[in-house]
A and B are shown apart, each in its own frame.
Chain A
Amino acid sequence: MEWLRISTSAELVRVATDEIVYVRADGNYCDLVLTNGTRRKMTFQLHFFEEIFQQLQNNTFVRVGRSLIVNKRYIFVINLPEQQLILSGGDMKEPIVFYGQPKADSPQNVFVKPNDQSQTCLDFGMARKGGIKSNITLAREGLKQLKELLENEKPVDNG
């Protein structure tokens, strides 16, 4: 069992790595989301998380695109035609759904408010940063790479 003790100028956050569902970039900051639904805004950039995750003994985190790091433990569905990534499991009461392509007619394609407990839908194509087409392409490629990564991953044998 491993924990991250994250110390910034204003606060100290201590979190078990197993409880991290994903970390998402938000401008110069990032959002840390736990299995129990807790969301914490961290005042540093996403790459710090990526660097520290690589030092874990059992690194279950994988970067999907430029703005998202997900815990592989909670990957439930990767659907390429739908450009859909669903995280579920652990203490999560509701699955977390990511869409890689904005769907104008889809009510799910909105960035829901953190206090909305019904279902969390996130656009991980970074559409707000501009360049929708390129970002969608990147997201689709990231999703495909994630799928291939998990398919080719050797089964864990602790015996």
Chain B
Amino acid sequence: MDELNKQKPEVPIIIIERDEQPQPQEVVTKAVAPSRKQKWLKRFLALVAIGCLMVAILAGYYFWNYYYNIGVSVSVTPEQNIEKLQKPAKQETPEVVMTSDSILGVAMDFYAINGLKASIQFEEPDTADTSVYLYCRSVDHKADSTYIGTLVVNGEERQSDTHRLGYMAMLGGNSVIGISRSEKVKDYVQEHGGSFFRQFILVSNGDIPGRFFLHGKVERRAIGRIDDQLYFIATRHKETLWDFADALREYGFIDAIYITGGADYVFYRDKDGFRHDIGDKSDYPHTKWKGIIPWLVFRN
């Protein structure tokens, strides 16, 4: 070996030979530790995901609170009211039976509505129209003639606004009232050419809401239900909304919704067809907002 090391080094000829046969691909399992950048990216994405989840939860809570948690229990669901509207109308003697009572210091007249078909029209009924057994106002309207709360007249939507949770739906010879923010009943009625309007709740499932936003004392009116009997109710004196609602609840109403126009002139007919005035006759006919006010009319 020492002799070999003493020799002068050579210049070799080195050739690379390559295997022409295709080699099976080597399977390499990656086990790469995440870099710091990847770690921070993962953390950032996790934060974004958590943020999105929180937003989704908040949105879900908001929608649940808005649509379902309406602050009062509900006696009848929209689906049940749709079933009632689908049934054939009861064949009853068309009449309005008026009774009076006073409860919790609130004097009220109750007009039980039997065998009558409800509808909404923009022309005030004539006192000579014997087919009209009772009429009253329904939704409020603003000075610009737009309505407050959903209003559907004969299948035509005039306003869509679900802030007021009470509703009355009319289709064929059936009329129902209920409490819901859902538009299922409105959609059904609209599709079938009926009428629908919203007003705020006075009584829901035999209970009254926690608070009312109107505190003044005026004559009050409402549409209420005891079991399946529909009533139009009017106070004889000026009452606060809370007193009125509490009196209705105490009287036994399951559901009741507000009706605007507490002092407006309207009339009803008894079973003999005699007309009885409600309110000041000098107000009749209403010239202001003519054609704007949607009248809730009960005919035979």
A117 in contact (CB, < 8 A): no
Known: A6-B14, A41-B1, A158-B26. 13 other contacts (CB 8 A): A1-B18, A3-B16, A4-B14, A5-B16, A6-B12, A7-B13, A8-B12, A8-B13, A14-B17, A29-B5, A41-B4, A155-B32, A159-B27
Which B residues between 1 and 25 are near A, CB-CB below 8 angstroms? 1, 4-5, 7-19, 23, 25
Which A residues between 43 and 63 are near B, CB-CB below 8 angstroms? 43-45, 48-49, 52, 55-57
Instruction: Give the shortest distance, in Å, between A158 (CB) and chain B (any CB).
Output: 5
Whether the pair B12, A29 counts as a contact (CB closer than 8 A) is no
Contacts known (A1-B18, A3-B17); A48 close to B1, Cβ less than 8 A: no
Whether the pair A158, B12 counts as a contact (CB closer than 8 A) is no
Instruction: Give the shortest distance, in Å, between B42 (CB) and chain A (any CB).
Output: 19
Whether the pair A2, B28 counts as a contact (CB closer than 8 A) is no
How many residues on chain B are close to A (CB under 8 Å)? Answer: 23
A157 in contact (CB, < 8 A): yes
Residues of B within 8 A of A8 (CB): 10, 12-13
Overall SS of chain B's interface: loop
Complex Cα distance A29/B2, Å? Answer: 11
Contacts known (A27-B5, A157-B28); A52 close to B14, Cβ less than 8 A: yes
Interfacial residues, chain B to chain A (CB-CB below 8 A): 1, 4-5, 7-19, 23, 25-28, 30, 32
Cross-chain pairs A/B with CB under 8 angstroms, 22 sampled: A1-B18, A1-B23, A2-B19, A3-B18, A4-B14, A7-B12, A7-B15, A8-B13, A9-B10, A14-B17, A28-B9, A43-B4, A43-B7, A43-B9, A43-B12, A45-B9, A48-B12, A48-B14, A56-B16, A155-B30, A155-B32, A158-B27
Question: Top 6 nearest A-B pairs by Cβ distance?
Answer: A1-B19, A28-B9, A3-B17, A7-B13, A5-B15, A52-B14
